[in-house]
Structure 1
């Protein structure tokens, strides 16, 4: 972990310890129940708010704590260490994706109306960018808003919206300009219960406790003051916010890899074959040693990207590298650790089996690994 790290002060390490204790005490005992129920109780957002975890990096004027970004780094790693993709997805989308746009582009009134209640756990936020035919290609968005006096009327579809059913509001990317391409995209805050908004749950391979929805906007009327930032300037905001989203994805994936390795180490020390623990076999010891080494390399890459972000630098390539390496490793580690469990690891209720299911999404969400490679190639070659 972060022993004698140049990135973490004693204060941040103490925060990490408190956060780990909080998560293990208030979240871990309930995760299997929430998985089977396919939902996270709304009370959890309020509980997290009471602990101050929903606004670590946001201004105090809007309920935040204005802590260093490495407090968020520690929190995201610990969230990943829970080993539940759906839970960590729901909480991170709320605090590090959807509400990010309010902080970046919202005016004071918008922040008081939406950001502050979200930080206080009174409202749940969702981000609606992806569409059935527009995923990583944000410039291909078709969901459109036409003007109607001093209002806008939104029509179109959004896909794979995390928190889509629970959300009180959605930050939605829609086309407000003529033609195609990145130039005509704007962001709006949309009341999730507004007339014309239809939310339909979708069933997934993993991430079961996270409510994911398809969202239809059927002539949804929004006021002009629900526009975030300038009209037709949404694409640049999305590209900037993607930097934080990809750092978060990398840190969460590293936490999940830590969880997989912890499960594998415990099992390998307890499981006896031919009279000795399987950690006595070189093939097992070396497999775990290699995964631990790759994890530390990915961790330091993610920390460096996080440091660049904390310094206000536009580090698109480094963020893409961190996400690519950490998420690909999470998938590999979950698979290799499951192999060590043998048949026990293939049981549906096994924690390592859930990690195996859940980590598969991390190389897709927030920009696929293929897109990350393209970003790196365009920046570095």
Structure 2
């Protein structure tokens, strides 16, 4: 018999005063939570579900089996954990507010902007525009991971990404490398990248975890079901939210065992990777749960297929509205990093969202006294 527990925030509020202080600041973000579902699963089936608030969570914890009590206490501590800033070279990226990561694909076949940034000049201009628009990080990728894309030899990938990284670094930008290959990680870090974004969660290349541990750089572990070249294969779930949560926990634990410091790990639920429309929507509605793992979250939903599926099959270049809606949904859930194609528009949405949040913290007009 196998028991597992999950603490899912289900009551999000704009500020603690609306709940007379009976709310927590979710993972140090600008999102607050006042109600929680404490869910007990046994052999993959939900056997009990309690509702709790910050002032009743101890009572619910006491009703849990001893086998999951320690995990529940750790998840509760994680939900209230404020993450320190990311130190990316000379740049500091604070995680107490949503940050925008700009996508710079130097590939001929990416699903949305393939070929647009093939030349060093085009890549430099695109990166400069994103930095000027307010991107905190530029994420450089040299291999498309869309469904059906062919794998790229690491030498070709290095030739694509290194000039772009050097250009971004020279202009003072914080740079991440989007790759699943250890040799590309090494070349990118040598060129000025300061963060590794691995869509395979360090499962594709057996040397990757060693590289991250030895370099001491932050790493994003993304969930994807595929273990071979095609990361979209094998997307079958008994319960997608719990399955992705459990798999991310496993990959995190493997990273820790490989010597990667916990403070250097970020997690990404992998929207669109081996997941149906229903799977993606379920994950979006459960995003606050993933803070219980104790690491900053990255969300990559920009121009994804689910937007087209909900918008009369709108093409990749016609999904701005949906991309903004999903980014704001992530901000409401306390997600710290948002990986997007449309930086200026997302930054504007973030700034308006933050203005509303700031105002909510000082708006006592609807309270007595």
Greater share of residues in strand: 2
* TM superposition score normalised by structure 1: 0.22
* TM superposition score normalised by structure 2: 0.23
